[in-house]
Amino acid sequence: MDDGHDRGDEGDQESLSETLGALLSAREESLATAESLTGGLLGARVTAVPGASAYFDRGFVTYAYDAKRELLGVSREALDAEGAVSAPVAEQMAAGARDRADTTWGVATTGIAGPDGGTEEKPVGLVYLGVAYAAPWGTEASFVRSERVVLDGDRAAVRRRAVDAALDALVRAVRETEDRE
């Protein structure tokens, strides 16, 4: 997903947050975030948009395994078998944020920002993004999904790009559900 270049200047980054805000506001939908490697940066970007209180409910910063289990309901089995940096954990984080906050959307970030902690199997820059949608009851259209990205750069760049990637994934998912209606 990442070509090693920044996804744009600060204005482009802000436009993702603004686009998300406009979409959620128009649909009267709400959002909760669940963050590990980004440590609150995702929630900060969402709330940097004036009027974010209309759609942003809360953010969970769950850096440790126990925080993921206690606050988001991530299963011990997923953490033990897959590790925190995995698709199942990203999905459970997103669903946990959505369900515990009772919001329409949940978005999650988990990964390895570096400079240490990477392995051959899970290199520095590996990030999993989770997106969870709560469709109206009876529609059977709710979903949880994840995306895997490997991002270049130092610790700050990986964290910043993870936020960009999470916002992009969420905007795409919101637009996809909009197209189904």
pLDDT tens per residue across span 36-84: 999 999 999 999 999 999 999 999 999 999 999 999 999 999 999 999 9
Distance between CA atoms of residues 21 and 170, nearest Å: 11
pTM, two decimal places: 0.92
| CA–CA dist 72, 118 (Å, integer) | 25
Q: How confident is the model at residue 178 (pLDDT cuts 50, 70, 90)?
A: confident
CATH code, residues 10-180: 3.90.950.20
Tokens of residue 78, six digits: 């997923």
Core vs surface per residue 121-132: b (16+ CB within 10 A) or e: ebebbbbbbbbb
Q: With beta carbons less than 8 A apart as the criterion, state whether 134 and 98 touch.
A: yes
